[in-house]
Amino acid sequence: MSHSTKEFSNPVIRWIEYRLPIFSFIDSSVGTGYPTPRNLNYWWNFGSLAGVVLVIMILTGVMLAANYTANVGYAFESVERIMRDVNYGWLLRYLHSNGSSMFFIIVYIHMFRGLYFGSYKAPRELLWILGVFIILAMMATAFMGYVLPWGQMSFWGATVITNLFSAIPLIGESIVTWLWGGFSVANPTLNRFFAWHYLLPFILFALVFIHLWALHVHKSNNPLGIDAKGAGDMIPFHPYYTIKDTFGMGVFMIIYLSFVFFAPDFFGEPDNYIKANPMVTPPEIVPEWYFLPFYAILRAITFNIFFIPAKLIGVIAMFSSILILLFLPWLDRCKVRSARFRPLYKQFFWIFVLDTLILGYVGANPPQGLFIPIGQAATAYYFAHFLIIIPLLGVLEKTKPLPESISAAVTESGTSGKENG
Amino acid sequence: MIEQSMMQQPLDDGFPRRDFLFIATGTVAAAGTALAVWPLIHSMNPAADILAVSKTEVDLGPIEVGQRITVVWRGKPIFVDHRSPERIAQARADDKAELIDPQLDSERVQKDEWLIVIGICTHLGCIPLGQRTGDSRGDYGGWFCPCHGSHYDTSGRIRKGPAPKNLVIPPYTFTKNTTIKIG
């Protein structure tokens, strides 16, 4: 991270700066000393928005933890106590539970933004890969957090997901027993999930920090997907994008708080207000909405392939659907980043978005009738997008001519590097 | 490396000795780390108190013919089915059917009228329906898992759906004619 040569007039700041250059570090990270492409649109708001939600989640989570009891005898009751007796407990809990849904919406949009504008391409491959680790850490955190209220969906969701590991040949059953700390999801499981749910966000925080470190080396991609050529292509992060991000945050807060205050259980399952009962499975186990496309992929595999059982293939397919993103920078050979100059990729991008929505819809429905073939076709298309369509487009697609520079494209008279010095 | 060291230093104090020390230290460090990590990993396995309550005794006497009851063993539901002659006959007839996880009914019971299985679907761990009157028992008269649609027959064998295995038989012994000890 390059430090700006900013001079500070306040003597206290100068004293600290001489010993620990933290103020120039802040300035060169999110201040006037951080150059940013001048043409970022609102799709670039979602990164900082995700950071804001992470902070909200940690703050509300820490306060909730102070009133929560991680024991099967008290967990459900302690959450009800938070809702009824703890001052503003209802607010903290609804901010936290709806915050997880908001977090996933934001991060999914952030990821699709990266896919559309080719933000994963050189030299930002590691930045993208770190992002994949972040979404994996988020999923693990969200899954364990959902277990903590110890409702029926908590318990049975935990049972189904931990049982995925039993598909691993030979050692699968031992791994599941090890994860549970017993022979079923029970008190030891709840206890450790609480501990890890508290730990993981801080690992997430560290991953975000490294993600930003990598971001600040080559700076943000932009809607044109071309490299900035000179100072005329860039504007300082502060005040231009601090104000734009703040505005976006205001809009986001309206949406987020509308759910918190007017439809706090919109994303929840009614069954989770029934205390966990290990002897009764709910009629239908549905994961939280943000896992539905992956759940659909898991259930799409209903057939054995040679000697490999369907269950194992389903689990492999589900994990692969995320891990395949790690290889995307090398599956896509096209040098042009932005879909604006890739007429074919642009269409396939939207078909892919539709495909993930179909998978989500199938995941929300019981695995019977038409949902089975639709889920299988959508799963096949999901992988075909990455393994067939993207590699082929990289070779076959005729891309449109790229603009000379960012400033040339976004201003009438602009030529790169000439104005704004 | 060795030639160089021989030129610079006496033979008995050369690099081979250092190499040996380096490798030996490294090996001890690696083994020590592995040994130190094991307690951390093993602390997650079932604790002594959980292992201690791992046997359950069940009195089968009050269970009527055709009745099914559920008992708890190691936190898991155990399905006890007092099978009627018709259901035994059906299970035996199904021995010849095309089975996903082939097993004879006689291999799955100690006494024909008592079918004792762990009531956990071998797919992803849901509890199949069929224990209570009015429950769906699936297409084969045994149990039906509502989570992902697995059908089990009157011997608890998987017949249709995503589950890969038959319902598991827990270890049990008849301590008296109508009493079993599970575990």
Largest CA distance in chain B: 93
Asked if A311's CB is within 8 angstroms of B75's CB, the reply is no
> Can you give the pLDDT at residue A154?
96
pLDDT at position B11 over 70:
no
Band the pLDDT of A376: cuts 50, 70, 90.
very high
Asked if A367's CB is within 8 angstroms of B148's CB, the reply is yes
Averaged over B158-171, what is the pLDDT? 91
Task: Write b or e for each residue in A347-371: b if 16 or more Cβ atoms lie within 10 A of its Cβ, otherwise e.
Answer: ebbeebeebbebbbbbbbbebeeeb
pLDDT tens for residues A163-204? 889 889 999 999 999 999 998 999 999 999 999 999 999 999
Averaged over B95-110, what is the pLDDT? 91
Nearest to B164 among A183, A284, A311 (CB): A311
pLDDT tens for residues A82-128? 999 999 999 999 999 999 999 999 999 999 999 999 999 999 999 99
> Can you give the pLDDT at residue B10?
52
Q: Quick one: which of A71, A386, A100 has its CA closest to A266?
A: A100
> Can you give the pLDDT at residue A418?
44
Chain A residue closest in CA terms to B126? A281
Q: What is each CA distance from A327 to A79, A81, A128, A219, A337, in whole angstroms?
A: 41, 46, 10, 22, 16
Count Cβ atoms within 10 A of the Cβ of residue B44 and give its class: 0-12 exposed, 13-18 middle, 19 or more buried.
Answer: middle
Task: Decide: A24 and A206 in contact? Cβ < 8 Å.
Answer: no
Averaged over A385-414, what is the pLDDT? 91
Q: Where are the alpha helices (DSSP H) in B53-149?
A: 85-94, 105-108
> Can you give the pLDDT at residue A373?
95
Q: What is each CA distance from A259 to A45, A377, A384, B116, in whole angstroms?
A: 20, 34, 36, 48
With contacts defined as CB-CB under 8 Å, which chain A residues touch B74?
182-184
3-state secondary structure of A151: strand
pLDDT at position B13 over 70:
no
Mutate to test the interface with B, among A155, A162, A311, A313 (most CBs of B within 10 A): A311
Question: Which structure tokens are listed for A255?
Answer: 């949406």
pLDDT tens for residues A241-286? 999 999 999 999 999 999 999 999 999 999 999 999 988 888 778 8
- CA B149/CA B145 separation, integer angstroms: 5
> Can you give the pLDDT at residue B177?
87
- CA A324/CA B183 separation, integer angstroms: 43
pLDDT at position A412 over 80:
no
Phi, psi of A206 (to 5 degrees): -65, -40
3-class DSSP string for B23-41: HHHHHHHHHHHHHHHHHHH
> Can you give the pLDDT at residue A413?
58
**Catalytic residue set of B:** 148
pLDDT tens for residues A337-368? 999 999 999 999 999 999 999 999 999 998 77
Mutate to test the interface with A, among B147, B150, B151, B160 (most CBs of A within 10 A): B147
Torsion B86-B92-B94-B100 (CA) sign: positive
> Can you give the pLDDT at residue A200?
97
Asked if A182's CB is within 8 angstroms of B74's CB, the reply is yes
3-state secondary structure of A364: coil
In one-letter notation, the amino acid at residue A370 is: L
A303 interfaces chain B, CB cutoff of 8 Å: no
Check A28, A78, A220, A338 and give the catalytic one. A220
pLDDT at position A420 over 50:
no
3-state secondary structure of A227: coil
Asked if A280's CB is within 8 angstroms of B46's CB, the reply is no
Mutate to test the interface with B, among A185, A190, A279 (most CBs of B within 10 A): A279
pLDDT tens for residues B28-82? 999 999 999 999 999 999 998 888 777 888 999 999 998 999 998 888 899 999 9
pLDDT tens for residues A145-164? 999 999 999 999 999 899 88
Task: Decide: A287 and B138 in contact? Cβ < 8 Å.
Answer: no
| DSSP string of B49-74, one letter each residue | HHHHT--EEEE-TTPPTT-EEEEEET
Our answer to whether residue A244 is catalytic in this structure is yes
Check A233, A269, A288, A332 and give the catalytic one. A288
Question: Which structure tokens are listed for A220?
Answer: 């943000």
Chain B contacts in chain A segment 340-379 (CB below 8 A): 366-368
Report which of residues A89 and B14 the model is more confident about. A89
Please state which of the ranges A62-76, A372-386, B18-32 shows the lowest mean pLDDT. B18-32
Asked if A367's CB is within 8 angstroms of B149's CB, the reply is yes
Asked if B123's CB is within 8 angstroms of A281's CB, the reply is no
Q: How many angstroms separate the CA of residue B37 from the nearest CA in chain A?
A: 15
With contacts defined as CB-CB under 8 Å, which chain B residues touch A302?
162
With contacts defined as CB-CB under 8 Å, which chain A residues touch B149?
366-368
pLDDT at position A403 over 60:
yes
> Can you give the pLDDT at residue B18?
85
Q: Which residues pair with A80 in a beta bridge?
A: none
Task: Decide: B164 and B123 in contact? Cβ < 8 Å.
Answer: yes
First to last CA, chain A: 22
Phi, psi of B182 (to 5 degrees): -95, 135
Cβ partners under 8 Å of residue A259, min gap 6:
A98, A101, A102, A266, A267
Query: Measured at the alpha carbon of residue B179, what is the angle toward residues B175 and B182, in degrees to the nearest 5?
Result: 75
Q: What is each CA distance from A326 to A123, A133, A309, A312, A384, in whole angstroms?
A: 14, 9, 26, 21, 16
Q: Is A150 left (phi over 0), alpha (psi -120 to 50) or beta?
A: left
Band the pLDDT of A421: cuts 50, 70, 90.
very low
Task: Decide: A74 and A32 in contact? Cβ < 8 Å.
Answer: no
Chain B residue closest in CA terms to A287? B147
Cβ partners under 8 Å of residue A31, min gap 6:
A4, A6, A236, A237, A238
Nearest to B76 among A183, A192, A299 (CB): A183
A278 interfaces chain B, CB cutoff of 8 Å: yes
Averaged over A42-56, what is the pLDDT? 97
> Can you give the pLDDT at residue A5?
60
**Count of CB contacts below 8 A, A vs B?**
80
A287 interfaces chain B, CB cutoff of 8 Å: no
Nearest to A160 among B70, B72, B124 (CB): B124
- CA A208/CA B129 separation, integer angstroms: 45
> Can you give the pLDDT at residue A321?
97
With contacts defined as CB-CB under 8 Å, which chain B residues touch A284?
146-147
Q: Match 């505005």 to its residue by tokens.
A: A247
> Can you give the pLDDT at residue B12?
57
With contacts defined as CB-CB under 8 Å, which chain A residues touch B79?
none
A179 interfaces chain B, CB cutoff of 8 Å: yes
Band the pLDDT of A27: cuts 50, 70, 90.
very high
pLDDT tens for residues A282-309? 877 889 999 999 999 998 987 888 888 8
Please state which of the ranges A47-51, A355-359, B21-25 shows the lowest mean pLDDT. B21-25
Question: Which structure tokens are listed for A101?
Answer: 């849904």
Kindly report whether the peptide bond that precedes residue A239 is cis, defined as omega within 30 degrees of 0.
yes
Cβ partners under 8 Å of residue A118, min gap 6:
A221, A225, A332, A334, A336, A337, A338, A339
pLDDT at position A1 over 50:
no
> Can you give the pLDDT at residue A72?
96
Cβ partners under 8 Å of residue A175, min gap 6:
A165, A166, A168
Q: What is each CA distance from A240 to A31, A41, B34, in whole angstroms?
A: 10, 12, 52
